[in-house]
Structure 1
């Protein structure tokens, strides 16, 4: 048995909460929930083999439970994650590539959870900077294989990585496989006990709408996009709203419902203007003007 029970129990508790895992998820297949509860409150010393398995599930090296610098390392990894996510939002994949190349050389890269994050974002760089879809897909699979939070329920991070994998399947024109994966992920999101990134469902709905538009399934395109807009409103978020309005406009345009198409292109333009997404604003404006001109000629 390993003592120093209060420090270890506290670190297990902090990590579990940080990764939004329940006690049941953490101990599944390792020990009982009552056992992990006693470990976390410091009333029981943990067995060495159990600690190793717990560390593995939490994605940390077992030595972190004895390392007083761990909180600082966790703060550092959080800062890197924040920087990387912000670069993705800004489509700054050149900057992201430089950040990833730097972090691959740090000691923290030996931490499996941090390494998974780096591999995931390296895959994005391979896709958007190097235009190497095969390498990107290989890196995503490596990231997924590296760490599996729970066998029964996909973690929030795994869902995010799998969204990127489905996006690459779309790039390969494997639309059915992509749609099947998106729909499976939508089901997995609904099973999450706690959701940190409330935009996940919006991402999946948008990609389902986009994929269905590509295969001319306009009814499903509109249905998924409108459900995505409902999520935007429920979250009080503009995230993805302009793109969802735009894709509904495109679907209505394809089925020649011009009045509805114009309505949604206008809404898309307004949101893109508000969010200062100039490239997409210009795109919505172009579609709007073109459709208006055609409508006048009829």
Structure 2
């Protein structure tokens, strides 16, 4: 590790100390000497891992934050840049994704293997949506999966697998998409380290959609329920509206229109709260459609 990284760590610790309005002596108490804290702040020494952990705990900071600052130069820049690319990917603004990726690929901060994998991953995404070339896109995503030096799969690896499944689905290769999502779910569950639970929620949602397209309603409903339960257990609203919508759709299409409408109304409420106009409109259209179907069924039963 080079001097720059430890200087960044020291500057970060100093900034937190100032914001918390505590002294070096107060931070050092029960951990190390005040002079050691001073040297850490100046980037003159590298702290022992147990010292760094104790400092992080005392400051109320996730230790991984400090470790990443040590490991990666310009950590804040990398994190913010990645978040921006993910934001535009979520918005489906693939021209902006391409523009950002092209710039970041040349930046020195993105020469680490993890960042190279991130760039390659998003190249695969914009290649598909801008050039409509699924073969080239999938080839690029497989290349991204091979850009790693860890034995276990990382969060980023599993998200790349998710992207592969999505593109296979877009190409109506539903069985291959199902296998891709199942594989990603299994790797997530087998991981020995904690992972971002929203990734598993996303995989369940996408897998449910595949089962729905394959007209395997029982399996689709089972996977949807797993996603809903996982989101609720973790007090997360991530994709909860979409999962409730999916459950309503499955129930209504399999004949239980009343229950299906209940879940569609729940989804509508979430989309309203989060001002998700696109999904709100889609959900409300479905509610009107199933209400009409329900009414026609009642009329038929009368006669």
State the TM-score bracket (shorter-chain normalisation): 0.7 to 0.9
Secondary structure, counterpart of 1:251 in structure 2: helix
Give the Å deviation of 1:146: 1.9
Q: What corresponds to 1:73 in structure 2? A: 74
| Residues 69 and 155 of structure 1, relative CA distance in 2, 3 Å threshold | closer
Q: What are the superposed Cα offsets for residues 8-30 of structure 1, whole Å, 9 maximum, x if unpaired?
A: xx89xxxxxxxxxxxxxxxxxxx
Q: What corresponds to 2:127 in structure 1? A: 126
Q: What are the superposed Cα offsets for residues 90-122 of structure 1, whole Å, 9 maximum, x if unpaired?
A: 333332221112112223343322111011112
Q: What are the superposed Cα offsets for residues 217-262 of structure 1, whole Å, 9 maximum, x if unpaired?
A: 0011111011100111122111111111111122112211111111
- Give matches, 1:161-176, under 5 Å: 161-176=160-175
- Contact 1:206-1:224 at 8 Å conserved across structures: yes
Give the gaps of 5 or more residues in structure 2.
8-46, 50-68, 298-303
Q: What are the superposed Cα offsets for residues 120-166 of structure 1, whole Å, 9 maximum, x if unpaired?
A: 1122212233332222211101111122421xx32221111111111
Give the Å deviation of 1:211: 0.3
Q: What are the superposed Cα offsets for residues 251-294 of structure 1, whole Å, 9 maximum, x if unpaired?
A: 11221111111111111111111121111110000000111022
Secondary structure, counterpart of 1:199 in structure 2: helix
Task: Supply the distance in 1 between the matched residues of 2:226 and 2:212 (Cα, whole angstroms).
Answer: 15
- Contact 2:117-2:144 at 8 Å conserved across structures: yes
- Give matches, 1:208-287, under 5 Å: 208-287=207-286
Task: Supply the distance in 2 between the matched residues of 1:241 and 1:70 (Cα, whole angstroms).
Answer: 35
TM-score (norm 1): 0.73
- Give matches, 1:54-133, under 5 Å: 71-133=72-134
Give the gaps of 5 or more residues in structure 1.
12-39, 43-67
- Contact 1:156-1:195 at 8 Å conserved across structures: no
Aligned length: 240
- Contact 1:272-1:278 at 8 Å conserved across structures: yes
Q: What corresponds to 2:29 in structure 1? A: none
Task: Supply the distance in 2 between the matched residues of 1:245 and 1:174 (Cα, whole angstroms).
Answer: 25
Task: Supply the distance in 1 between the matched residues of 2:273 and 2:162 (Cα, whole angstroms).
Answer: 27
Q: Which has the larger radius of gyration?
A: 2
Task: Supply the distance in 2 between the matched residues of 1:197 and 1:124 (Cα, whole angstroms).
Answer: 21
| Residues 221 and 157 of structure 1, relative CA distance in 2, 3 Å threshold | same
Task: Supply the distance in 2 between the matched residues of 1:115 and 1:201 (Cα, whole angstroms).
Answer: 24
* 1:177 to 2:172 alignment: no
Task: Supply the distance in 1 between the matched residues of 2:125 and 2:276 (Cα, whole angstroms).
Answer: 21
Deviates more, 1:176-185 or 1:286-295: 176-185
Task: Supply the distance in 2 between the matched residues of 1:75 and 1:93 (Cα, whole angstroms).
Answer: 24
- Contact 2:138-2:164 at 8 Å conserved across structures: yes
- Contact 2:124-2:136 at 8 Å conserved across structures: yes
Task: Supply the distance in 1 between the matched residues of 2:264 and 2:76 (Cα, whole angstroms).
Answer: 42
Structure 1 moving runs of 4+ over 4 Å: 68-71
TM-score (norm 2): 0.71
